[in-house]
Structure 1
Amino acid sequence: MTFSLLFAVLASGFIYGITPGPGVLAVLGIGASRGRKAGAGFLCGHLLGDVLWCSTALVAIVGARQIGSSVFDILGLLSGLYLFWLGLRALRSRPGNGQGEQGPVRQPFWHGIVFGLTNPKAYPVAVATFTALISSRAETLEWSMLPALIALSFVGGLLAYVILIAIVGARHVRTLYTRYELWITRACGVMFIGFAVNALMHALPGLMPQR
């Protein structure tokens, strides 16, 4: 495995974990109302869902590559289009669209597990994010690499959660996030579109008819 592939998988796990979404909004709300310990409990539970969805996404990506480059290119095309759609949707966000955590959570850890495992967007976002960042190194993917790739994605997600845990205890962080949530969401939309363009640039040449 090359260093660039290792770094891409690590970065994918980190970006997947720290990008604003329902889980990040939830932990900010829990941290503001119940403190850093409760927020950390929620994230520890939520990490189980992240490991499941990231692992499933990596299995799909490696499997597609092993079946054939065309299958991987199709996956890259679909992932790029999905990320582009998410980016446009984020850019068109309006105030008041946030999905923050409402009310106290008595068992943050178990709530995090359920939240992470039942998020309907988790798998497609994981596939799209990993495909966008790994597509340029697709030719090196092998089944034997899968355990290391899963471990690296876990480390990336863990680093993201360490940062989140460090800030969730501060109430002013939640206030600032709520105040500028729209702009943060739109900035993430630009990032998603960038990932989409990267994925499409690597997928489309392989799908074009050869002359």
Structure 2
Amino acid sequence: MAADTLALYALTSAILAITPGPTMLLALSNGIAGGMRRAAWGIAGASLGSTVVISVVALGLGSILAASRWVFDALRVAGVLYLAWLGLRMWRSAAPDLRTAIAATPDGPAQGSKALLRSLAVALTNPKALLFFAAFLPQFVDVHAPQAAQYLVLGCVFIAIDTAVMLAYAGAGTQVVRWLSKRSLQWLNKGCGAGMWLLAGALALWRRPGV
């Protein structure tokens, strides 16, 4: 893979990662509610989900799954319902107490596991991600060279960039707790919840090209 191709891919991936999506909102929300420890669990879940999706595409299964209307619609409905549920949880969640939010004692494993599973579920129930990777990654693959290693490099680069951006969102969440009032944090939670509903609505209305 040429260096200029890889640089273009990294730049494109960075632009896409910065765009707010469900995993970014979760990283921000986890940073607000539980600090970097809980956010790190959620980021791990989102990265694991991306790894699975990219692996599916690299194995050639992405096009097969995308071609099945029933599988695609089932996955889309699951994603819509899950995003809507997460939005409701965020909307109804209480603002964290400042002393608790900045305390040195981190969340326990139970809260971390929940954050991981939520982000993993979001990543795996988003059919747009499957179609995106199925259409996006092959454009940067040299068909005349071994493809497995190229997909490995492309996947690692995307996940590294996406993880860095999620860490930035989570870090912003931990700082917001220090500077905003409890009432403001409550409204920020509601804003994240409303963002999830908007994403759920967009996914519900979205159709595959050619459908």
1:54 to 34, 37, 50: 50
CA pair 130-60 structure 1, distance change in 2 beyond 3 A: same
Residue 73 of structure 1: aligned partner? 66
Contact 1:91 1:186 in 2 (8 A): yes
**Aligned pairs, number:** 186
Residue 35 of structure 1: aligned partner? none
TM-score (norm 2): 0.61
Alignment of 1:1-211 (within 5 A): 10=14, 15=21, 17-18=23-24, 20-21=25-26, 24-30=28-34, 39-65=35-61, 69=63, 71-74=64-67, 78-79=71-72, 82-83=75-76, 86-87=79-80, 98=91, 100=93, 106-108=105-107, 110=109, 113-119=112-118, 121-125=121-125, 128-137=127-136, 139-140=138-139, 142-151=147-156, 152-171=158-177, 172=180, 174-193=185-204, 196-197=206-207, 200-201=208-209
Cα distance in 1, alignment partners of residues 85 and 48 from structure 2: 30
Contact 1:26 1:100 in 2 (8 A): no
Letter matched to residue 52 of structure 1: L
Identity rate, percent: 5
Cα distance in 2, alignment partners of residues 157 and 7 from structure 1: 15
Q: Which runs of 5+ in 2 are unaligned?
A: 142-146
Cα distance in 1, alignment partners of residues 67 and 54 from structure 2: 15
Cα distance in 2, alignment partners of residues 90 and 118 from structure 1: 13
Q: Give the drift of 1:162.
A: 0.5
Cα distance in 2, alignment partners of residues 84 and 7 from structure 1: 32
Q: Give the drift of 1:153.
A: 2.2
Contact 2:79 2:122 in 1 (8 A): no
TM-score (norm 1): 0.61
CA pair 51-86 structure 1, distance change in 2 beyond 3 A: closer
Query: Deviations for 1:72-131, whole angstroms, at most 9, x for unmatched residues?
Result: 5336873465335534776799967747489869433856752354346245236x2421
Q: Which runs of 5+ in 1 are unaligned?
A: 31-38, 205-211
Letter matched to residue 136 of structure 1: A
Q: CA RMSD in A?
A: 4.2
Cα distance in 2, alignment partners of residues 79 and 174 from structure 1: 37
